[in-house]
Structure 1
Amino acid sequence: GKTFTGRISFIDPILDKTTRTAKVRVETTNREMLLKPEMYANAIVKAPLKQYNNEIVIPKSAVLWTGKRSIVYVKQPDTDVAAFMLREIELGPSLGDSYVVISGANDGDEIVTNGAFSVDASAQLEGKRSMMNEEPPSKDEHAMMLVQGMCEMCKERIEKATTSIKGVSSATWDMEKKELHLHYDSHRTNLDVIGKAIAKAGHDTD
């Protein structure tokens, strides 16, 4: 086969519900007219973002701006009725119709990409945290999680990964008992988010 080099100019924000794939438009030279409509090709996508290896990328349509904050709505797991929670995120560079997320999102998060304004409007009507209601009364909760680790460096990593999450006020890991005791605002985060952050730091949770 022949190799072509091009630039992605558009990424369809809607996935095909059957194949779970999205179409992209690539601009390239085709002087010899070798490329024909409806052809298939294997492609490798490269981006000059070495400092952002393995970071999460989300569509721009998912992000709401308040002037000071960038926020998204994340679907809450294990609920009978679809429920969404506002999450503040820190954005990196723009990639066409997407943003690199530096912090605030985790692998496996289901983020609202279309209709975020409607979700936010509903949150405002219910008096929940939203673009307009920046800080509702905090709901401080204590929790204990079993986290695997063996050394002082593990303790430092676990506690740093936990306290770096917005909404977590304190975290202390007992190396002997493998117990992580933490205080967090359940209006701003939850144990699922905390567990994923700890796992990303390299430690299993039970």
Structure 2
Amino acid sequence: MLLVACSVAIGLTGCGSDAAPEAPSPTHDEPSQDSASPGHVRGKDGSAHGAHEGHGETPDRVELDADQRAALDLQIGTARAGSAEAVVTAPATLRFDADRVARVGPRLRAKVRTVEADLGDTVAAGDVLAVLDSVELGQAKAAYLTAAARYRTRAAAYERDRRLAQDQIVSESALAESRADYRQARAERRAARAELKLYGMDDAAIDAIVDDSDAPLSRLALTAPRAGRIARRDLVAGETVGPDETPIHVVDNSRMWLMIEAAEQALPRVAVGQTVRFGVRPLPGETFTGRIDWIAPELDRESRSVRIRAVVDNPNDRLKAGMFATARIETGQANDSASANALVPIDALQQIGKRAGVFVPGEHAGAFVFTPVTTGAESGGAVEITQGLSPGDALVTAGAFDLKAALTAGGRSAAHSH
């Protein structure tokens, strides 16, 4: 690109070279250059600022034909009104809302019989995701059936002895022994039920266990604890999984988290409740909105950045976890429109010698003028122009570096030709 830029036709005057001829002084018969002529721009106070102060009255110019301009891939835009302090720009990554993710797995060692839900399926709370067999669960169910049977027997015996004791048919010592057996059986039954609950069975499932059922006692159903979509399915029939594994993930991604990595300098300007607007690479031109709900209490030791979380609605499922984003936090510290400076992309600003400036379109197609400016605050890839450019003025927003290369290369060629 630089070689192409250096080959353009350059129109330079007053470039500051010692070999360049001095411009003749204007006579009374020759009109002086007006402040509104090409190469001058007005500041917000209405005063004219020379585009090449200290280097003559005519600004630095680049002249391109149609082919040269196409080769440089220039983009023309307008300076917007604003303040670099009003917006904090930072990289971010989308993640699932951790409060809306359920990781499902068995609570004991089991072998997979069938998988009932596949990736992308929408499930409701309680839907069966997979059916497994567990020897350990079968033993726990058998122990529960034994404890339940003993409890029923002891409960009936105690009730009978209690009635007989009222008629003085059974002694108090026999009633006390019957009461103790009943309470022990009740405790054993409770312990057996508690063990089954630890394995993930609820009261309804436990009450459904009967010894005359055709279903094996080892049978275990993994169910969805919440509504959502299957985001992970690391499970196939025939494999054995343990209590430390969660092979199925159910996710409700209608709301997500945007995790922002902001520079520590932004801390005084960010706060919970502020609006965040962001775009993602796979969806260029689209803007999404979120709201900050958490700011980390400490900085990352290596990057010296602060982690910020924003909650983002995702009703159409367009946002995906893992997407990279560029977040713009609206801090609410913007200047009013009457006093706002021009705000331009940082890449539009170029340095030539001791002069900082931007390229603005000339009076005809293919002409570009390097216009010195005074800069202000810089933030998030944008810089304020306090003098030399006004909001709404046209400038080269992309490709300015190539124009600078062409301009400086042309200046050296002119100097060497003498």
Which TM-score applies when normalising by structure 1? 0.42
TM-score between both structures, scaled by the size of structure 2: 0.22
More helix per residue: 2
Structure with the bigger RCO (C-alpha within 8 Å, sep 6+) is: 2
User: By percentage of residues, which structure has more strand?
Assistant: 2
